[in-house]
Structure 1
Amino acid sequence: MQTPETAESSQTPVVKATDKGKNVVQENQPQQQSVSVASLSVQQLQDMIANSIRAQYGGPPQTTFTYSKPYTKRIDSLRMPLGYQPPKFQQFDGKGNPKQHIAHFVETCENAGSRGYQLVRQFVRSLKGNAFEWYTDLEPEVIDRWEQLEKEFLNRFYSTRRTVSMMELTNTKQRKGELVIDYINRWRALSLDCKDRLTELSAVEMCTQGMH
């Protein structure tokens, strides 16, 4: 078992968050891909896991604490109709039927005099809970059409999507011979479909407990 000083000086795979929210492995030497948990310090393991899942659990990016709107500047510059008053929307919290929510939202907007691109700016008013958190975690300035936002929303919340229970997530363990980074990424992918939202701290602890 290496000491923390020895482990820190060795070249180990490191998970880094890219500007697209994905995780990549930086490998210094090919033969060190098979690093075991025993060769890493507790702090290194926790840092590796935290960096991998920070974005999905609402942790602020390390470079900025500011919020950026997910739609383009073109959408942001559009003016609402003269005299437009935002209607009271039914709010969606991540549960229920997302297609029905879209239908209610579009109908409410059109009755109030807004349509098309204007729906993009109004959509956030109809979200709360997990759905609102999903919206705020979208990449900045990636949405330029209502159809694009609608597709992203349905892909995330459509009722036929497989959901992962907390029990399944808790029972997900590192497989024999599985690399640490592969286990972390597999666990993270499962956690994205978990019906119960975890805090970043809880996610790190649960993922760590599944290692051997």
Structure 2
Amino acid sequence: MTRTSEEPLFESDPEIERTLRVLRNQGKVSEVVESNSKYSSSPMAENSKTMKDLAILDDAYQYSCIAYPKLTRDVELRSGLIHLLPKFQGLSGEDLNRHLHEFHIVCSTIKPQGISEEDIKLRAFPFSLTGAAKDWLYYLPTGHVTSWINMKKAFLEKFFSASRTTIIRKNICGIQQVVGEALYDYWERFKKLCSSCSQHQISEQLLVQYFYEGLLPMDRSMIDAAAGGALVSKTPEQARELISNIVENSQQFGNRALITRGVSET
């Protein structure tokens, strides 16, 4: 039996017709059709691409390992600021904590309204890296870093291993003044060692104690005399300030014999 052209191909459903009429009045039919066509056509569009087309990266691809938080206003890093930033290459002999300290000083000089210092640091830090350190940053997974805290943590984990921290802690605990080493030089060496690992987690009391125990007998007696008999009678803060003052005075002379004589004569 041949179907006539007047016969409908499918029986109409009154409920569906009513729903379409409502959606059409609300202007949502076109949205539904567009959405369905998007998903139905995308596989075909992808399959129609040539190998050359597929090899070209999509412009919408997120290259950066840093997922920058949304700000209330745009941030522009001026070339003058970038030029002032310290550079870290990722070499074994570089002082990582000094780099972070100098980086903090530069970033703290600019305080645009409505933008935190952490947001400035997050955007400026990639410009402070070069060589192997910049390669490391580029090879991180996309969106791996979401804040300055994350960036700093990943940086420390990569370039300041736990074993290196352990070695520096041991050096701090066992530090000793070398025969012939001026008190000022010993103090500077001690401070530099402590600052090279800000995460050493050694208390102020122990730091002063390790420095004091490593002194040569002559300088230890001088500090005890300046403390009124014994350095242990001072608080850690008072002891450190006393040592710092004695070191400054000793630098004025530049001769250990003069320092000793000057203390003994008082």
**Is TM > 0.5 for Structure 1 vs Structure 2?**
no
TM-score (norm 1): 0.40
The structure whose residues are more often helix, as a share, is 2
> In terms of Rg, which structure is larger?
2
TM-score (norm 2): 0.32
